[in-house]
Amino acid sequence: MYLTVKLINRTVQYTMTADRLSSTFSALSDPTRRAILARLALGETSVSKLAAPFDMSLPAISKHLKVLERAGLITRGRDAQMRPCKIEVNALKEADDWLEEYRRLWEQRLGRLDDYLHALQAGQKTSKREKKHERKK
């Protein structure tokens, strides 16, 4: 049983790292990581400054940063003893492109639904006018 679980976990882990889009969305699924990215969008900063607004330890913040780094959403450098973090804006492009396809799809579908509803409303108005016209005769 242990071997099976370990094998399944390893397969899942490999699949997650192999699929960049999945790892991006997985990293973005956590509100703390989204808040970290929002802060890094303002500019490069240190881990301690990133951790300041959160009620968690530096090791916990470091774990979040590792997830973001593995997903390619941030990079961490070395500047003497400071390890500045920087957002990788281009890493979000693949997710944005994927979402854009579905946005266009749903806009088209909703546009067709809107046209259909307008046609139905126009048909109802026409039939009401016809009924009034028949009553007058």
Tens of pLDDT, residues 31-64: 999 999 999 999 999 888 999 999 999 999 999 9
Helix (H) or strand (E) holding 72: none
If asked whether residues 82 and 98 sit together in one domain, one would say no
Per-residue pLDDT reduced to its tens digit, 55-109: 999 999 999 999 999 999 999 887 777 778 999 988 888 889 989 999 999 999 9
Structural domain boundaries, residue 119: 90-137
CA-CA distance, 76 to 28, in Å (whole number)? 18
pLDDT: which is higher, 19 or 9: 19
Q: Give me the CATH number covering residue 55.
A: 1.10.10.10
Task: Output the DSSP codes for 56-105.
Answer: S-HHHHHHHHHHHHHTTSEEE--BTTB--EEE-GGGGHHHHHHHHHHHHH
Closest CA to 72 of 92, 51, 43, 99: 92
Could you identify the residue written with the tokens 């920087």? 86
Total domains in the chain come to 2
